[in-house]
Amino acid sequence: MKPLTTLLIAVSMLLSSLALYAQRSTEFFYLGNVYCKTKAGVEQRFPYLPVYLSCQDKPNDIIAVTVTNANGEASFKGVPIDPYKDHILTVHLPSGTYRFRRIPIDKNPGFTGHISTHIRLDALEKYLTSLTIVPKKADADKMILDLATSAIKGAQRKGTTISDADGLSYKLFVSGRMVQTKKQADVLLQMTGAMLDKIVITHPLQANDYFAGSIDFFVRDFPVEKLVPMDFSLERL
């Protein structure tokens, strides 16, 4: 079997494991979409948007920060929570700061896993800058991590961690899905420009102290995840 074919199979398994990883859980965690709807009822998602988690009694004390994936899904997988307490999810946009309340569970729901935390905003707006890189023939044998690093002024790479000039790291994605485990990250070390359609690098317009932005490596000929329409959301405060 050719090395490239073998690697493509490995990447396919990686992306499949991302989906399975999101479904498996031994604890509660928050998972939801950030979206809006136009006057015509068309749903729009907010990709690569920071989402902040805190307790209602201490809304300014951030427990964790995540970034929505290419489909606007915000996952706090791996962040232990007490589902019997009130929590606040916050997003900062140029138009303002928006807080949403996740009311506590009043009794054992009879399952473990994710608790829905969908957020509906008023309208899609410009909240980040985006740079798209299409690998050239000369980039076919180059590591995709190096291609992304060289495209960001002042960026440095150590293993699978890419950081900006201030030392803040980038959230990594593969075909819209966040890389969440070391095993998944290690696969990136084997991937070259020949496997990609494009690399999308984003930076939030409003800087934060948690991460520099996002880097999404879109694998060639890999299907995009389908969107599930939203019809409810958390209470806005």
**Nearest Cα residue to 29 out of 102, 107, 119, 94:** 102
Which residues have C-beta within 8 Å of that of residue 110, sequence separation ≥ 6?
A: none
Which residues have C-beta within 8 Å of that of residue 45, sequence separation ≥ 6?
A: 33, 34, 35, 68, 71, 72, 227
Instruction: Return the CATH superfamily for domain 3-16+127-219.
Output: TonB-dependent receptor, plug domain (2.170.130.10)
Q: Which two tokens stand for residue 183?
A: 């095993």
Identify the band that residue 228 occupies on the pLDDT scale cut at 50, 70 and 90.
confident
Identify residue 85 by its one-letter amino acid code.
Answer: K
pLDDT mean over 180-196: 92
Identify the band that residue 181 occupies on the pLDDT scale cut at 50, 70 and 90.
confident
Which residues have C-beta within 8 Å of that of residue 76, sequence separation ≥ 6?
A: 29, 30, 31, 53, 64, 66, 117
Q: What is the pLDDT of residue 226?
A: 82
Q: What is the dihedral of CA 12, 178, 175, 134, to 10 degrees?
A: -120
Q: Is the pLDDT of residue 24 over 60?
A: no
Q: How far apart are CA 159 and CA 48, in angstroms?
A: 22
Residue with tokens 């749903």: 43
Whether CATH 2.60.40.1120 fits 28-123+225-236: yes
| 87 within 8 A of 80, measured Cβ to Cβ | no
Q: How far apart are CA 142 and CA 8, in angstroms?
A: 16
* Structural domain spans, the chain: 3-16+127-219, 28-123+225-236
pLDDT digits (tens, 9 = 90+) for 140-175: 999 999 999 999 999 999 999 999 999 999 999 999
Q: How far apart are CA 123 and CA 95, in angstroms?
A: 10
> What is the pTM (predicted TM-score) of this model?
0.86
What secondary structure, in 3-state letters, does 38-78 show? Answer: CCCCCEEECCCCEEEEEECCEEEEEEEEEECCCCCEEECCC
pLDDT digits (tens, 9 = 90+) for 88-119: 999 999 999 999 999 887 766 666 678 899 99
Q: Is the pLDDT of residue 22 over 50?
A: no
Q: Which two tokens stand for residue 232?
A: 């409810």
